Amino acid sequence: MKSLNAPATAGVVTEVSGASYIVISEDGTEFRARTFPGTKTDNGDASLVVVGDSVELKLIETGTALFEAVITFVRPRRSALTRKRDVRRNRSKEKTQVIAANIDQLVVVVSTYEPLLNTRLIDRYLVFAESEKLETIIVVNKIDLEDSSETREMMKPYKALGYRVFYTSAEKKRGMKALKKALAGKLSAFSGHSGVGKSTLINQLSGHERLKTGETNEKTGKGLHTTSNSVMLFLPGGGFIIDTPGIREFNLSDITRENLRFYFKEFLSFMHDCAYSSCTHTVEPKCGILKAVESGHIDSERYESYLAIYESIDQNS
C-alpha cells in the first residue's frame, strides 16, 4: 500500500471520466486521481485537467479510498487542441474547452463517403495547425467505399503544399502500416467529423477493440457522436494516440481576419504582389493572391476556404 507521505510523483493523464482521472506515472504505474481545491496551474483555459496533460501527483492512502492520488499541479501545456463551447451569447475566452494537451501531431481524419469528404474542414484544421506550428497529417479513411480519381484529385493541393496524405480502410485493414509509421514515437491526436472512423482506426492501430465505435445515420451519412471523451492509448511499436470526440465545426477562436492570411502557406509567396500592404485578398484591385488564383498557382478551392473562414471570423471578437 502506498503511504500517505510517499514522495510526489509525476505523470501523464490518459483518461478523464467526470472528476476522475487516470494518470500514468513516468515508471508506468497507473493511478486513479482527482483534483482538489488546491490544485495549481498556470494554464488559462477553462479545462483544468485534460488528456495529455503532464501533472504532478501526491499519493494518498488507498485502503478504502476511491482515489490513489491527488493532482497538485498541472504543468504548462506545450500545445492544446481546443473547441469552443456552444455559448453564442457569451463568447468569452474562458469558454474555450481543451480536448487534448501536449500533442506533437494533429491527425485530421476525413472519410471518402459516409460522411462525404469535406475539404473545407481540412482547411480549417490546417489554419489552426499552422497557427500553432503543429505538425499535421491527413488521413482519408473508408477507401473501401469509394476510391475514385476524384477523391485523389481533391487531395492533390495538400500534397503539393507538403502535407502528408494517407489513404486507409480501417474496415479492410488497408494503409495501416504507412500510417503507423507516421505515428511512431509521437503523441498524435485524431480529430475530425463524427463517423469518419477515428475510433475504428485507433482500435486497428493499437491492436485492441478497446474503443466504442458507432454507426452512421443511414440517411445523412453523419456519425452519431459515439466517442464522448478523449482517451490516450499506447501504440505498439512506440507512440501514443489520443482519440477525440467528433466535432461539428472546427473552432478557430484565436484567428483574426488580419492574421488568417499567414496560415494559408501558399499565400506567402504571392502576398508581396498585392498593391496594398493591408490587402485582405477579397475584393482589392491588384491583389497578388487573386492573380495567383486566376493563373492557377493557388488552388481555387483553397481560396474559397480562405474566403469562407474570413467571412466566418467575427471582426469584433
Ligand X SMILES: Nc1nc2c(ncn2[C@@H]2O[C@H](COP(=O)(O)OP(=O)(O)OP(=O)(O)O)[C@@H](O)[C@H]2O)c(=O)[nH]1
Task: List residues near Mg ion by CB under 5 A.
Answer: 198-199, 226-227
Q: Of 33, 101, 129, 287, which one interacts with Zn ion (CB under 5 A)?
A: 287
Q: By C-beta, is 54 or 206 nearer to ligand X?
A: 206
Quote the least distance from Cβ 302 to Zn ion, whole Å: 15
d(CA 170, CA 199): 9
**φ and ψ of 69, to 5 deg:** -155, 155
Q: By C-beta, is 213 or 280 nearer to ligand X?
A: 213
C-alpha of 37 from chain center: 29
Q: Of 142, 198, 281, 302, which one interacts with Zn ion (CB under 5 A)?
A: 281
Q: What is the three-state SS of the chain?
A: CCCCCCCCEEEEEEEEECCEEEEEECCCCEEEEECCCCCEECCCCCCCCCCCCEEEEEECCCCCCCCCEEEEEECCCCCEEEEECCCCCCCCHHHEEEEEECCCEEEEEEECCCCCCCHHHHHHHHHHHHHCCCEEEEEEECCCCCCCHHHHHHHHHHHHCCCEEEECECCCCECHHHHHHHHCCCEEEEECECCCCHHHHHHHHHCCCCCCCCCECCCCCCECCCCCCCEEEECCCCCEEEECCCECCCCCCCCCCCCHHHHCHHHCCCHHHCCCCCCCCCCCCCCHHHHHHHCCCCCHHHHHHHHHHHHHCCCCC
Note whether 103 binds Zn ion by CB under 5 A: no
Residue 274 binds which of Zn ion, Mg ion, ligand X, none (CB < 5-8 A, kind-dependent): Zn ion
Find the part of the chain contacting Zn ion (CB under 5 A) among 26-34, 55-63, 109-117, 283-291.
Answer: 283-291
Residue 223 binds which of ligand X, Mg ion, Zn ion, none (CB < 5-8 A, kind-dependent): ligand X
Q: Of 16, 107, 279, 293, which one interacts with Zn ion (CB under 5 A)?
A: 279
Note whether 292 binds Zn ion by CB under 5 A: no
Q: Left if phi > 0, otherwise alpha if psi is -120 to 50, otherwise beta: which for 82?
A: beta
Note whether 298 binds Zn ion by CB under 5 A: no
Residue 195 binds which of Zn ion, Mg ion, ligand X, none (CB < 5-8 A, kind-dependent): ligand X
Q: By C-beta, is 36 or 276 nearer to Zn ion?
A: 276
Note whether 274 binds Zn ion by CB under 5 A: yes
The strand pairing partners of 30, in sequence order, are: 24
- Binding site residues, ligand X, CB under 6 A: 141-142, 144-145, 169-171, 194-200, 213-216, 223, 225-227, 245-246
Quote the least distance from Cβ 131 to ligand X, whole Å: 23
Q: By C-beta, is 79 or 199 nearer to Mg ion?
A: 199
Quote the least distance from Cβ 121 to ligand X, whole Å: 13
**φ and ψ of 301, to 5 deg:** -65, -40
Quote the least distance from Cβ 86 to ligand X, whole Å: 16
Quote the least distance from Cβ 24 to ligand X, whole Å: 23
Residue 171 binds which of Mg ion, Zn ion, ligand X, none (CB < 5-8 A, kind-dependent): ligand X
Q: By C-beta, is 113 or 310 nearer to ligand X?
A: 113
Residue 197 binds which of ligand X, Mg ion, Zn ion, none (CB < 5-8 A, kind-dependent): ligand X
Quote the least distance from Cβ 210 to Mg ion, whole Å: 11
Please state whether the peptide bond connecting residue 115 to the residue before it is cis, i.e. omega within 30 degrees of 0.
yes
Q: Site residues (CB under 5 A) for Zn ion?
A: 274, 279, 281, 287, 289
